[in-house]
Chain A
Amino acid sequence: MLQEMIFAGFGGQGVLSMGTLLAYAAMKEGKDVSWMPSYGPEMRGGTANCIVNISDQPISSPIVSAYDVAVVFNQPSLKKFEQKVKKGGILIWESTTIKEPPSRKDIRIYPIPAIEKASQDLKNVKVMNMLMLGVLLKINAIVKKESVLQALKDTLPERHHHLIPLNKEAIDLGMSLAD
């Protein structure tokens, strides 16, 4: 099965690394993956996104214009990508900062206060991307949680490994919020 996904938000919110981790975890599970970032004029504080495709079959186009899953962290991204979610697809949006909610009725919509939960419950707003990943994994088990944890170990430099438990906590919290 092919899953076409987009992760979008402000630069610095961790959307690219979230996509990378998911792609890496899927690759380790033997799937074909592609990760295509927006690049160029984007900068810190501007919007950034990446398209991640995961499939049991070889992936043809790494760039697609309709998505099975969109995870958005800011208003401009919601505006840009809400209409590009396929009918019946999943839209997860950050509800602490996004003031105008999505309006579509033909997709599955999940408002998640990731920024509030990460800063209050986990005392670290930076892991909100992992919290959102947890939400996604609960709704749509694209890869196993263990694969993501292994991906963290494999891709994070050793000096950051002490942060893995916090990231795991964030994933778990996200999974519980999706219920």
Chain B
Amino acid sequence: MAEVKLMKGNEALAEAAIRAGMQAYFGYPITPQSEVIEYLAAQEPKHDYVLIQAESELAAVNMLYGSGGAGARVMTTTSSPGFSLMQEGVSYMACAEIPCVMVNVVRGGPGLGTVQPSQGDYFQAVKGGGHGDYHVIVLGPNSVQEMVDHIYLAFELADKYRAPTLILADGAIGQMMEKVILPAPIKYEPDKPWATTGKTPDRERNILTSLYIQSEDMEQRNLKLQAKYKVILKNEIRYEEYEIEDAEYIIVAYGLCSRIAKNVVNRARDEGLKLGLFRPISLWPYPWDRIGEIADADRVKFFISVEMNAGQMVEDVKLAVCGKKPVFFFGRLGGIVPTPEETYEAIKEKIG
């Protein structure tokens, strides 16, 4: 039974995880996402999941590794400095092919930074924050509703590809309240013959490891991962287009910035300016090809990437546009959210 509620992004994602059949949660509180563990702790007596407040993010990510390896539907949530601490485990899980959901409610960095919203962790999320040749699937919600929808999707993708899956939100999406439709709870029944649930007489031992001492074995493991990433690249690209059909100038923005950008597009259209918005929803795999197609259109004059960082996703936009059109950047740093006014001004300045 679907329910309509007014909820904070963090609480909505916690409720969604319960409804999506999460069996274990491990985390360590950190602003701006501590409401997740608070909510899950309050709800725990009514449900079957395991909840552990770990002694650190490093412990939490390794609990995730263990329980995900045992086949459970598992999740952790954290914010920027905490996610940096987890990177070793993320790399291990990518190699050992452990399905799990991770949520980074990003705050301003680098360092301990600020608790205000930021998109400064884009590189870390999509280019691999840990060591080695790996990717995690990355989703970028832009509303409280998508915090919910992406949790369901992230658990599905994690299981389907046996891949750690990351939701890259930000402090504002976590803290704000909006109307949200909560889908009916699902009964999750793991179907994971590879899981380390104890050897039975009818099969070999299941081994999950990220250690392959022989280079030949390590290369084979890498090739297997790369083949999987190719399939993900083919199947799991998601994006939204807004007023793109006749747009001459195109904002590219994800997460909170895409909401601000939509406001700017509406203002521009009221003034007869042909502005459009391209919003990547999957940040890895990134919709490079679609942006490239848009760049081919003669009417398109330039792209501008709007971000809460010093210019990170703009590199993917440049890759996608491949020199066909100019690509600009506008952003604010350190936890400052760009206002629609200043964003619009920056765009008008480029138009000249």
A residues contacting B by CB (< 8 A) are 20, 23-24, 27, 32-37, 39-41, 59-66
Flag whether B6 is at the interface (Cβ < 8 A): yes
A34 touches B176 (CB 8 A): yes
Which residue in chain B gives the minimum CB-CB distance to A21? B6
Q: How far is the CA of A63 from the CA of B308 in the complex (A)?
A: 14
A61 touches B178 (CB 8 A): no
**From DSSP, what is the main secondary structure of chain B's interface residues?**
mixed
List A contacts of B116 (CB < 8 A). Answer: 40
Which residue in chain B gives the minimum CB-CB distance to A35? B177
Q: How far is the CA of A20 from the CA of B11 in the complex (A)?
A: 15
B115 touches A60 (CB 8 A): no
A35 touches B176 (CB 8 A): yes
Would A61 and B263 be within 8 Å (CB), given that A35-B177, A39-B115, A39-B175 are in contact? yes
Q: How far is the CA of A131 from the CA of B31 in the complex (A)?
A: 32
Cβ of B337 to closest chain A Cβ, rounded Å:
5
Chain B residues 301 to 352 lying within 8 A of chain A, measured CB to CB, are 337, 339-341
Which residue in chain B gives the minimum CB-CB distance to A53? B178
List A contacts of B238 (CB < 8 A). Answer: none
List A contacts of B262 (CB < 8 A). Answer: 60-61
Q: How far is the CA of A27 from the CA of B114 in the complex (A)?
A: 32
**What 9 A-B pairs come out closest when comparing CB atoms?**
A61-B263, A60-B263, A60-B262, A35-B177, A40-B115, A65-B339, A36-B176, A61-B260, A61-B259
B341 touches A65 (CB 8 A): yes
Q: How far is the CA of A33 from the CA of B341 in the complex (A)?
A: 21
A39 touches B337 (CB 8 A): no
B residues contacting A by CB (< 8 A) are 4, 6, 31-32, 114-116, 171-172, 175-179, 256, 259-260, 262-263, 266, 337, 339-341
List B contacts of A60 (CB < 8 A). Answer: 259-260, 262-263, 266
Cβ of A112 to closest chain B Cβ, rounded Å:
26
Which residue in chain B gives the minimum CB-CB distance to A40? B115
B32 touches A62 (CB 8 A): no
List A contacts of B260 (CB < 8 A). Answer: 60-61, 63
Q: How far is the CA of A65 from the CA of B171 in the complex (A)?
A: 18
A40 touches B31 (CB 8 A): yes
Cβ of B327 to closest chain A Cβ, rounded Å:
23
Q: How far is the CA of A73 from the CA of B266 in the complex (A)?
A: 33
Which residue in chain B gives the minimum CB-CB distance to A24? B6
Would A64 and B178 be within 8 Å (CB), given that A39-B115, A39-B171 are in contact? no
Which residue in chain B gives the minimum CB-CB distance to A63? B337
A35 touches which of B6, B115, B339, B341 (Cβ 8 Å) = B6
Interface centre among B177, B256, B339, B340 (most CB of A within 10 A): B177
A27 touches B179 (CB 8 A): yes
Which residue in chain B gives the minimum CB-CB distance to A39? B175
B172 touches A63 (CB 8 A): yes
> With contacts A37-B175, A39-B32 known, what are 18 further pairs, Cβ within 8 A?
A20-B177, A32-B179, A33-B6, A33-B177, A34-B178, A35-B177, A36-B177, A37-B176, A39-B31, A40-B31, A60-B263, A61-B259, A61-B260, A61-B262, A61-B263, A64-B263, A64-B340, A65-B339
Cβ of A71 to closest chain B Cβ, rounded Å:
18
Q: How far is the CA of A85 from the CA of B31 in the complex (A)?
A: 30
Cβ of A40 to closest chain B Cβ, rounded Å:
4
30 contacts between A and B (CB under 8 A): A20-B177, A27-B4, A27-B6, A27-B179, A33-B177, A34-B176, A35-B176, A35-B177, A36-B172, A36-B177, A37-B175, A37-B176, A39-B171, A40-B31, A40-B32, A40-B115, A40-B116, A41-B115, A60-B259, A60-B260, A61-B259, A61-B262, A61-B340, A62-B172, A62-B178, A62-B256, A63-B259, A64-B339, A64-B340, A65-B339
